[in-house]
Amino acid sequence: MDAARAKKWMQLFNEKIQDQKDYLSDLDTPIGDGDHGANMARGMAAAVENLAAKDFASAAEVFQAVSMQLISKVGGASGPLYGSAFMGMAKAEKDGKDLPEVIQAGLDMIQKRGKAVPGEKTMVDVWSGVVMALQKGELTKETIHTLVEATKDMKATKGRASYVGERSIGHIDPGSYSSGLLFEALLEVEEKA
């Protein structure tokens, strides 16, 4: 990916986050503390503002800059988790990896930091499903939608939602929903949507 496309991807992700800010917080209300929309909106607004102010020579630099903004501006769990993901993606881009490997590197960092495995009702469920679809060359909006919806029937065993135990069943995981927006934006910049 080149710097311009990476920047466009991040801008599009930010637009989707700002549009869905209230919905993301609504998802976080029954199973968390209702701040996921505000967290992501604050972090991504700062990230794109920072991107607009500078020139970037590579996608790696873009992801690195986004990572720093998310880690420093977001208090919730999602800031360090997304921040770690973008850090892993920056490293993989620097090493000349292709897109599935870049997203895999992001997932690896999320798991290194948060210790969640698939099935625990976290953003890991969407990231891991997206990696598999990308490896097969068949990531679509429908696949993303299915992955996000699948978190509804899961019981949370990691993160704040794990505190409500069984009562987390029946609600979509907010971090999975925001991750879905990230990958929808990716499809749009890749012109595959």
2-21: contacts with ligand ADP (CB under 6 A): none
Here's the x/- map for ligand ADP, 19-58, by CB under 6 A: it reads as ---------x---xx-xx--x-------------------
Return the closest-CA partner of residue 185 out of 17, 3, 1: 17
- The binder of 99, among ligand ADP, Mg ion, none, by C-beta within 5 to 8 A per type, is none
Binds Mg ion by CB under 5 A, chosen from 9, 13, 24, 32? 32
Output the CA angle 73-74-77, nearest 5 degrees: 155
Binds ligand ADP by CB under 6 A, chosen from 46, 60, 62, 110? 110
* Distance of closest approach, residue 57 Cβ to ligand ADP, in angstroms: 31
Output the CA angle 100-105-111, nearest 5 degrees: 125
Whose tokens are 């000349």? That residue is: 96
Give yes or no for residue 149 binding Mg ion (CB under 5 A). no
Q: How far apart are CA 133 and CA 124, in angstroms?
A: 14
Q: 16 and 189 in contact (C-beta within 8 Å)? A: no
Binds ligand ADP by CB under 6 A, chosen from 83, 129, 175, 180? 175
- CB-based contacts of 76, cutoff 8 Å, min separation 6: 35, 36, 39
The residues binding Mg ion (CB under 5 A) are 28, 32-33, 35-36
The residues binding ligand ADP (CB under 6 A) are 28, 32-33, 35-36, 39, 76-78, 81, 110, 114-116, 122-124, 158-160, 173-176
